[in-house]
């Protein structure tokens, strides 16, 4: 399975590189030939590209819409195209300028999406999480709730997709998956009282007094006080679970699962979507418990890990990941006709 996952990741990386190379193929002379062939076809292509851009823009976060379109990797090439089209076909110069602005927008959105993906990837690494595994889990989670009519994006009259647009789509998809994975990292202490009565790891069992493994953290609190979700996710279990007593389990988009046990009451249902900080129920002492407290677990691929590093580090890491803006980006850009 590991080999298959790595092969899939390598194939995606190779495809992205290939699309980048393809995106550099459309040189000035090729576009000049297109303008000399059929102006109406060029107009149709530009309209199709505009529709694709507007469809993408509606789904973008606000800050990615503020991309500077003045300077791009191919600005010299597009300027050359505009000048040549203007010289040979003065009536089409305006169309060439529109195309140049569209391509500049696409290139910069791609670069900005790649930057945001790298930022999310770096944040996951700071939390000692595998970005590739988190990304795959987020993609798999998203595919479980997708549907609707088939509406393929086309940027040419013949129904094909410009490789630059295809590259942009791949960058946006990767950015979205990594940022979704980041949102599923446990970052909020699940109780109002932050006193820990039993840490993660080996301890003396409170009933048998024998050495045992404690797969979570116990937070002390008043009976019935609210218990909060540590991150965004979906309730995948809400009920009685053996020695855990009344338990809520939340599966997050990155494959992480958080468990909230020994509850006095449960206030959510299986299948319910939960935001970080949402109330899940009341703190209690149900199941195998010596008194009111919350048993909180974090599991990755079914394996219990210490929740403390997430609760201590994630807030600052996420704040840093969200609070920075990529250098040299202005706040005045949108796909222009």
Round to whole Å and give the CA distance between 255 and 201.
22
Separation CA 182–CA 317 (nearest Å): 10
- Given this model, what pLDDT does residue 166 score? 81
Tokens 């009976």: give the residue.
Answer: 223
Which pLDDT score, from 0 to 100, does residue 50 have?
75
The first and second tokens of residue 140, run together, are 């798999």
**CA torsion sign, 45 to 46 to 51 to 57?**
positive
Identify the weakest region by mean pLDDT among 111-125, 129-143, 176-190, 231-245: 129-143
Mean pLDDT of 53-67: 61
Cβ burial of 3 (10 Å; 0-12, 13-18, 19+) is exposed
The whole-number pLDDT of residue 14 equals 41
- pLDDT at residue number 204: 77
- Cα Rg of the chain, angstroms: 26
Mean pLDDT of the chain: 76
pLDDT at site 51? 73
| pLDDT class of 37 with cuts at 50, 70, 90 | low
Q: Which residue has the higher pLDDT, 251 or 145?
A: 251
**Residue 286 to residues 147, 163, 261, 294, Cα–Cα distance (Å):** 40, 58, 8, 10
- Residue 39 is predicted with a pLDDT of 67
Domains (ranges, CATH) in the chain? 2-145+154-183 (no CATH), 196-321 (2.70.70.10)
What pLDDT does 87 receive?
A: 54
**236 or 69, which is more confident:** 236
Match 């009344």 to its residue by tokens: 246
The pLDDT > 70 percentage for the chain reads 65
Which are the contacts of 272, defined by CB distance < 8 A and separation ≥ 6? 234, 235
- 270-323: pLDDT as tens digits: 999 999 999 999 999 999 999 999 999 999 988 999 999 999 888 888 887 776
Ramachandran class of 94: left when φ > 0, alpha when ψ lies in -120 to 50, beta otherwise: alpha
- Per-residue pLDDT reduced to its tens digit, 79-135: 555 555 545 555 555 676 777 777 778 888 888 889 889 999 999 999 989 999 999
| Rounded mean pLDDT, 66-89 | 52
pLDDT over threshold 90, residue 255: no
Q: Is the pLDDT of residue 256 over 60?
A: yes
pTM of the predicted structure, to 2 decimals: 0.68
């Amino acid at each position: 399975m590991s080999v298959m996952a790595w092969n899939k990741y390598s194939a995606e990386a190779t495809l992205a590189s290939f699309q980048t190379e393809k995106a550099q193929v459309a040189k000035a002379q090729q576009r000049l030939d297109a303008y000399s062939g059929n102006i109406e076809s060029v107009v149709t292509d530009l309209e199709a590209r505009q529709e694709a851009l507007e469809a993408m823009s509606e789904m973008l976060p606000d800050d990615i819409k503020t991309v500077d379109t003045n300077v791009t990797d191919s600005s010299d090439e597009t300027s050359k195209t505009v000048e040549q089209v203007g010289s040979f076909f003065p009536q089409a110069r305006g169309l060439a300028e529109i195309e140049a602005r569209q391509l500049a927008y696409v290139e910069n959105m791609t670069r900005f999406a790649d930057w945001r993906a790298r930022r999310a990837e770096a944040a996951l690494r700071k939390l000692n999480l595998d970005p590739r595994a988190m990304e795959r889990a987020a993609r798999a989670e998203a595919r479980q709730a997708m549907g609707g009519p088939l509406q393929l994006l086309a940027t040419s009259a013949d129904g094909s997709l410009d490789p630059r647009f295809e590259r942009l789509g791949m960058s946006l998809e990767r950015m979205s998956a990594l940022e979704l994975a980041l949102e599923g990292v446990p970052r909020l202490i699940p109780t109002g009282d932050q006193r820990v009565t039993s840490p993660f790891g080996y301890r003396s069992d409170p009933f048998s007094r024998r050495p045992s493994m404690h797969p979570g953290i116990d937070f002390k609190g008043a009976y019935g006080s609210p218990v909060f979700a540590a991150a965004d996710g979906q309730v995948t279990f809400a009920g009685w679970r053996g020695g855990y007593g009344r338990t809520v389990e939340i599966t997050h988009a990155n494959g992480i699962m958080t468990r909230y046990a020994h509850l006095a009451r449960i206030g959510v249902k299986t299948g319910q979507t939960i935001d970080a900080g949402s109330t899940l129920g009341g703190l209690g002492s149900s199941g195998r418990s010596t008194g009111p407290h919350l048993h909180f677990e974090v599991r990755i691929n079914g394996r219990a890990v210490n929740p403390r590093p997430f609760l201590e580090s994630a807030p600052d890491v996420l704040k840093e990941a969200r609070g920075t803006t990529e250098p040299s980006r202005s706040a005045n850009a949108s796909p222009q006709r």
